[in-house]
Amino acid sequence: MQPDTTRQVLLNAAFHEIHRKGFQSASLTAILGKAGVTKGALYHYFDSKRALGYAVLEEVISDHLRTLWLDPLAETTDDPITQLKDCLINAGEQLNEKDIRLGCPLNNLAQEMSPIDQGFRERTDVMYKLWLQTISSALQNGQQLGKVRKDIDPEETALFIVATLEGCMSMAKNAQDKAVLLRCGKVVLNYLDSLGT
Amino acid sequence: MQPDTTRQVLLNAAFHEIHRKGFQSASLTAILGKAGVTKGALYHYFDSKRALGYAVLEEVISDHLRTLWLDPLAETTDDPITQLKDCLINAGEQLNEKDIRLGCPLNNLAQEMSPIDQGFRERTDVMYKLWLQTISSALQNGQQLGKVRKDIDPEETALFIVATLEGCMSMAKNAQDKAVLLRCGKVVLNYLDSLGT
DNA sequence: GCAGAAACATACCGACCAGTATGTATATCG
DNA sequence: CGATATACATACTGGTCGGTATGTTTCTGC
């Protein structure tokens, strides 16, 4: 097995186990079993369980965020509201029932770890700030294009949008019902429309 | 010490420890230390750690929800929108910086446990349904009073409102900054106003 | 082709965990 | 006043945890 492959297999296994159980309750033994390697391999690539968790955030989850939100929103467009709505719809379509039950990986980790581990908090914070900034820029761009209401504060609105998205995911996760996500998302889409001119 | 007192002391200690660390990572030893009793007392009143967690949900957290949201919204009024806004403002004022860092106890437990324990999920589900129903009723009442727009679906809107509230708490928790909650809450207040006629 | 490093596997460790078994003091009740 | 139940305290157990120490094999560079 190629060295990079083993590291990647470990990261993926860790991501799934952490997504399922949370970081603190994620068992290294379970991760190793899922990855099909032993403890020697893990501690060859990562200094500690915490370091593994950081890597999952910085490499796996960060990629998800980029693919679903940052990259699409970075593309130039003449209609940012539609762009945002497309992002939302697309992100929703990617999720199956299991994903709903497990919730947003970023939010899960942020909620669990930010109060008790500074390293996690700093890393989730960076990712949220990127997310907020990207949406804020899109809204600002929309204002300059005359497609977004000028009486809204882009930063504040971006914060509200992300909060609402995470909230929708939370409600759907607890209800274990994708229909809840869709109903919630529908209201979000209406709200996004209300930002247009 | 009175028997009921010991049980209550245990519940309070468990609530705080669970709020801090999450249920799975909450240590019974830590709870016992905080409560100032021993394991014998705990297992005299509760069958297991899980039963203790259920009791925290049903007795401690449930009380918080009632006090902050259910009871105030159950009072008859001629202006449900203002009633909702007052609830939100009041709930926000109750929170100090530490509460922000630790997040909403109900949401924390729901997020952590609902995917992995049916008993927790059923209990958090009941509480969310109560919350949603109460807000929905208030909106419906407002529609009959002619104070709330008739073109909105009360149930859907209630879902969106609760999702947004939990989302705001999540964002503020991760940012560890009450200012984030206030900025987010401001947009929520605007949204609530937009529901009025 | 040989030395050393990289890439793992295996076996083991102390700490902590939820849970239990047993002891004991106090209150209740006939 | 004696018996039984309540309300705890203390001591202990098996299991799991993250982490480490020590192999062993494969690859790489000279």
Would A93 be classed as within a structural domain?
Answer: yes
**Taking the model in full, what pTM does it have?**
0.95
Under 8 Å between Cβ of A120 and A53: yes
Summarised one tens digit per residue, pLDDT across range B26-74 is 999 999 999 999 999 999 999 999 999 999 999 999 999 999 999 999 9
A84 and A28 together in one domain? no
Would A55 be classed as within a structural domain?
Answer: no
Would A125 be classed as within a structural domain?
Answer: yes
Query: How many domains, chain A?
Result: 2
Q: Specify which residues A121 forms β-bridges with.
A: none
Tell me the average pLDDT of chain B: 96
CB distance from A184 to chain B under 8 Å? yes
Rounded Cα–Cα distance for residues B14 and B32 (Å): 8
Q: Which residues of B touch A118 (CB under 8 A)?
A: none
Contact A166 B171 (CB under 8 A): yes
Mean pLDDT of A165-175: 97
Residue of A164, A180, A193 for testing the chain B interface, max B β-carbons within 10 Å = A164
Q: Is the pLDDT of residue B2 over 70?
A: no
pLDDT at A28: 98
Contact B163 A170 (CB under 8 A): yes
Summarised one tens digit per residue, pLDDT across range A127-153 is 999 999 999 999 999 999 999 999 999
> How sure is the predictor about A3, in pLDDT bands with cuts at 50, 70 and 90?
very low
Q: Is the pLDDT of residue B6 over 70?
A: yes
B170 and B77 together in one domain? yes
A155 and A184 together in one domain? yes
CB distance from B16 to chain A under 8 Å? no
Q: Is the pLDDT of residue A1 over 50?
A: no
Please, which residues have CB within 8 angstroms of residue A83's CB and are 6 or more apart in sequence?
A72, A73, A75, A77, A138
Question: Which CATH number is A68's domain given?
Answer: 1.10.357.10
Neighbours of B75 (CB within 10 A): 8
B108 and B169 together in one domain? yes
- Asked if the Cβ of residue B40 lies within 7 A of any atom of strand D, the reply is yes
- The two most distant CA atoms of chain B are separated, in Å, by 59
Nucleotide nearest to B1 (CA to C1'): D7
